[in-house]
């Protein structure tokens, strides 16, 4: 683990997201601090746009520099990409079982998770994306993670869901870890904010 060269505020109330991202960032010498703000979320089909507006709003509201915000979506092929960027709303309203009922017993279960991490320093804004492909399980499995983790089986993980993995193993495969890794790699070559 590298000594932190950067301190970045992560605007999220989701402790699970924060814990995952903070572990990834620490590997790059970036310290993420949880900025416990209600995330401003526009309704849009583009995760990068949603995350970018959220980061800019968090920066303006907190007056802290720099700030990141993240938005993620669960995209199910047989449902034409639903719930996509509306995943947290659908999770609250339908839950895991509701999405599984929508799929029924169809053999077409391809899905992917996408994450967009947006950075705002007041001087510049940048966005980084990560995608992990996999399938939707027939039943929920596992007790780790959050959201749709118990029904998503990432490719190359021996048929286990994200919820069957501890945080370190999930970070070796996840969309969020990939997006935060891209962000931290980019940040390493920037001049620290004064």
Which residues, 6+ apart, have CB-to-CB distance to 81 below 8 Å? 75
pLDDT of amino acid 192:
61
pLDDT of amino acid 76:
98
Q: What is the DSSP letter of 78?
A: G
pLDDT of amino acid 87:
94
Cis, bond preceding 80 (omega within 30 deg of 0): no
pLDDT of amino acid 190:
81
**Regions of the chain where pLDDT drops below 50:** 1, 194
Could you give the CA distance from residue 35 to residue 55 in angstroms, rounded to a whole number? 11
Model-level pTM? 0.91
Q: Is 71 a catalytic residue?
A: yes
Kindly name the residue from 45, 71, 149, 166 that is annotated as catalytic: 71
pLDDT of amino acid 1:
46
CATH top class, domain 6-187: alpha beta
Could you give the CA distance from residue 163 to residue 15 in angstroms, rounded to a whole number? 15
Query: By three-state DSSP, how is residue 157 classified?
Result: coil
Could you give the CA distance from residue 153 to residue 29 in angstroms, rounded to a whole number? 30
Q: Strand pairing of 67-76 and 6-11? A: parallel
**Residue from 115, 96, 135, 90 nearest 17 by CA:** 115
pLDDT of amino acid 36:
85
């Amino acid at each position: 683990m590298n000594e932190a060269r950067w301190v970045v505020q992560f605007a999220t109330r989701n402790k699970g997201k924060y814990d995952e991202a903070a572990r990834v960032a620490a590997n790059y010498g970036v310290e993420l601090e949880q900025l416990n703000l209600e995330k401003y979320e526009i309704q849009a089909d583009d995760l990068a746009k949603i995350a970018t507006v959220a980061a800019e709003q968090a920066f303006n509201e907190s007056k802290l520099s720099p700030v990141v915000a993240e938005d993620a979506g669960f995209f199910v092929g047989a449902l034409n990409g639903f719930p996509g960027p509306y995943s947290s709303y659908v999770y609250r309203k339908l839950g895991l079982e509701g999405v599984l009922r929508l799929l029924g017993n169809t053999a077409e279960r391809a899905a992917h998770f996408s994450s967009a991490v947006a950075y705002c320093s007041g001087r510049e804004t940048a966005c980084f994306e990560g995608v992990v492909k996999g399938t939707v399980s027939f039943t929920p499995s596992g007790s780790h993670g959050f959201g749709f983790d118990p029904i998503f089986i990432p490719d190359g993980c021996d048929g286990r869901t994200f919820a069957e993995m501890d945080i370190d193993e999930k970070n070796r495969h996840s969309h969020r870890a990939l997006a935060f890794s891209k962000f931290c790699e980019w940040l390493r070559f920037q001049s620290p904010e004064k």
